[in-house]
């Protein structure tokens, strides 16, 4: 066992508050694995929620496992592999190894962790005594197929109801001394939302396109994604607080789930339908119950400023001395009361997401913001005393032209002008930071049919942004690496044939270029190909409730530059969810 790795884990434990330590006697030991570093995993409220809910079960002991830090990797390879934080046990000591996967680019890390833990890599090769390997998280209920050969069971959907049903079904199979295959069949039949890849036959035609996806036994052919009644459950709050995260020493509180705006690029706006808001009073009470006076509280939602009680939430929390933070604000729903609460909390930067520079392109992606609304939001933010702005943009969007890139430059210059005018009046000047990402088409969105943009075009447009804004004082341009977006596009719409590639990437320490040369996979088939309307997708067996015909209609609306009104669950039935 690596003493270096043990020391790091014990240091994390010492610095945490809220850690749950349970005795193993008579309980189901579950390793909850985040396929990335501790810093990122502990910043993820979904991961923390699953940890808390599993440990609430009297018959379960759940411990966390993370991808070892770079300096610990050699020791992890030569020793027992990754260890749990709570008791420093290896993966093989647990009966269930459960991965929480929020991002496609972590798929290779998941495979690497199985290798480091010395578990059989493929589900088909796992023996009776080995842990059951489970996976969940939003990436898996968008498209689990690239990692399907490695996983015994996927739990598709929101964890609130799934976890107890799954552990009960697993225990029933244990009580019957069922074989591994019998366990999987029992879980697939017993748990709505459980997807067992080994129980499905996949067939492709000579061109490589999927033509059949059928169950091999008497189980559902379509898997429904489970949705939780979070309003009845009450707000989700981070269990563990630590300084070693993106949100250092911050209690995270989920104030809502989903978004009704219907931005056509955004998976969260479609797979978390209908939008659900927590009651403002419950949010305030949950935040206060989970944090001492004066602690920082992070309010989380796909659209924080769209919450109907956001002003009251901010005001009441500030009255208790809490310091507030938010991820980003919608430009057309920023309020003076919310900004005042954020300024008083010491927030120095507010993020706004125009996503596109021209109003034409914003309409095409259904980001219904006018330039006037964006500039009014800038005026409100800077006028409140929060001087620094972060603006989120995407490049490579469907129908994008060079004129749309120029429009980003001109919009940012106008934003900077507004910031300067107000800042000079306050005798303080702020910065504008652009975060530029390459658009990746995602399943269950209207853009699931479109190809990923050419890498050379993306690189050229990033250069154009840097040149166009390079001479503007106090404007910074941060752009992602298009090659990584290409990899994400490959995994987002891939299928089981990518599994050997992921295994090779893990063996080659993340070297994608080398791995692609070693494995017989054509990435362009997945990344750069426009899909036909009737094509059967690898993820079509998953049921979110949104009609595929509706998504196609929204795609055609995008091409026509037409907008769609926000989702109103009480009166609207157009997408099929309500």
Residues 156, 282, single domain; the answer is: no
Q: What 3-state class would DSSP assign to 248?
A: coil
Q: What are phi and psi of 331, to 5 degrees?
A: -60, -30
With a CB cutoff of 8 Å and minimum separation 6, the contacts of 214 are: 200, 201, 221
Residues 194, 239, single domain; the answer is: no
Instruction: Give the span between the Cα atoms of 512 and 503, in whole angstroms.
Output: 11
Q: Which of 161, 192, 224 is the last residue of a domain?
A: 224
Instruction: Give the span between the Cα atoms of 92 and 97, in whole angstroms.
Output: 9
Tokens of 537: 């997708």
pLDDT at 484: 97
408 closest CA partner among 380, 430, 429, 436? 436
Residues 179, 245, single domain; the answer is: no
pLDDT at 293: 64
Give CA separation, 463 vs 108, 435, 460, 469, 558, in Å: 30, 14, 5, 10, 27
Residues 312, 245, single domain; the answer is: yes
Residues 300, 241, single domain; the answer is: yes
Structural contact between residues 536 and 213, judged by C-beta atoms closer than 8 angstroms: yes
Per residue in 290-302, pLDDT (tens digit) is 877 668 999 999 9
Residues 180, 256, single domain; the answer is: no
Residues 277, 339, single domain; the answer is: yes
pLDDT at 399: 98
Tokens of 315: 């005001």
pLDDT at 332: 95
Residues 291, 259, single domain; the answer is: yes
Domains of the chain: total:
2
Q: Write out residues in the chain with pLDDT < 70, as ranges.
A: 1, 293-294
The CATH number given to whatever domain includes residue 251 is 3.30.750.210
In a domain, 215, yes or no: yes
Residues 173, 296, single domain; the answer is: no
Give CA separation, 394 vs 266, 280, 410, 435, 515, in Å: 12, 32, 15, 8, 28
Residue 142 belongs to what domain range? 3-224
Per residue in 490-522, pLDDT (tens digit) is 999 999 999 999 999 999 999 999 999 999 999
For the entire predicted model, the pTM comes to 0.96
Q: Left if phi > 0, otherwise alpha if psi is -120 to 50, otherwise beta: which for 497?
A: alpha
Q: What are phi and psi of 395, to 5 degrees?
A: -120, 160
Q: Which letter, b or e, does each residue of 264-298 get, where b requires 16 or more Cβ atoms within 10 Å of its Cβ?
A: bbbbbbbbbbbbbbbebebbbebbbebbeeebbbb
527 closest CA partner among 566, 501, 557? 501
In a domain, 267, yes or no: yes
In a domain, 397, yes or no: no
């Amino acid at each position: 066992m690596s003493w270096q790795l043990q020391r790091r884990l014990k240091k994390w434990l010492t610095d945490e508050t809220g850690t749950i330590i349970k005795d193993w006697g008579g309980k189901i030991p579950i390793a909850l694995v985040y396929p990335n570093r501790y810093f990122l995993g502990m910043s993820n409220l979904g991961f923390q929620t699953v940890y808390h809910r599993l440990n609430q079960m009297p018959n379960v002991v759940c411990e966390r496992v993370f991808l070892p830090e770079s300096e610990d990797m050699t020791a992890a390879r030569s020793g027992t592999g990754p260890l749990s934080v709570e008791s420093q046990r290896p993966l093989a000591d647990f009966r269930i190894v459960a991965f929480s996967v929020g991002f496609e680019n972590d798929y290779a890390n998941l495979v690497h962790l199985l290798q480091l833990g010395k578990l059989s890599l493929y589900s088909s090769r796992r023996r009776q005594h080995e842990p059951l390997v489970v996976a969940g998280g939003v990436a898996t209920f968008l498209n689990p197929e690239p990692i399907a050969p490695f996983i015994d069971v996927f739990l598709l959907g929101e964890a609130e109801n799934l976890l107890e049903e799954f552990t009960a079904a697993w225990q029933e199979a244990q009580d019957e001394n069922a074989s591994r295959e019998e366990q999987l069949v029992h879980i697939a039949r017993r748990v709505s939302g459980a997807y067992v890849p080994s129980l499905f036959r996949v067939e492709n035609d000579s061109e490589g396109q999927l033509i059949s996806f059928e169950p091999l036994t008497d189980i559902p052919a379509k898997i429904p994604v489970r949705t939780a009644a979070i309003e009845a459950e009450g707000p989700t709050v981070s269990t563990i607080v630590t300084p070693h995260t993106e949100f250092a020493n911050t209690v995270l509180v989920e104030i809502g789930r989903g978004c009704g705006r219907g931005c056509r690029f955004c998976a969260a706006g479609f797979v978390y339908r209908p939008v659900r808001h927590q009651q403002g009073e419950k949010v305030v009470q949950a935040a206060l119950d989970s944090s001492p006076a004066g602690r920082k509280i992070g309010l989380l939602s796909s659209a924080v400023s769209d919450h109907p009680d956001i002003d009251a939430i901010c005001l009441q929390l500030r009255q208790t001395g809490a310091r507030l933070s938010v991820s980003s604000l919608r430009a057309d729903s920023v309020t003076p009361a919310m900004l005042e609460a954020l300024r008083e909390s010491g927030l120095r930067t507010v993020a706004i997401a125009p996503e596109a520079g021209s109003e034409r392109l914003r309409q095409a992606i259904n980001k219904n913001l006018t330039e006037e609304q964006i500039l009014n939001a800038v005026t409100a933010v800077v006028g409140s005393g929060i001087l620094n702005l972060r603006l989120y943009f995407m490049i490579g969007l469907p129908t994008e032209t060079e004129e749309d890139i120029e429009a980003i430059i001109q919009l940012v210059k106008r934003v900077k002008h507004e910031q300067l005018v107000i800042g000079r009046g306050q005798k303080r000047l702020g910065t504008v930071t652009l975060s530029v990402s390459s658009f990746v088409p995602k399943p269950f969105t209207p853009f699931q049919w479109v190809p990923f943009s050419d890498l050379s075009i993306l690189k050229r447009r990033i250069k154009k942004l840097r040149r166009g804004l390079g001479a503007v004082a106090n404007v910074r341009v941060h752009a992602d690496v298009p090659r990584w977006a290409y990899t994400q596009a490959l995994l987002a719409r891939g299928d089981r044939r990518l599994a050997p590639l992921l295994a090779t990437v893990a063996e080659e320490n993340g070297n994608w270029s080398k791995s692609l040369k070693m494995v017989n996979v054509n990435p362009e088939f997945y990344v750069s190909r426009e899909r036909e309307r009737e094509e059967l997708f690898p993820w079509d067996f998953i049921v979110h409730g949104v009609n595929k015909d509706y998504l196609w209609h929204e795609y055609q609306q995008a091409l026509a530059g037409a907008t769609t009104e926000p989702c109103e669950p009480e009166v609207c039935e157009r997408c099929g969810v309500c």
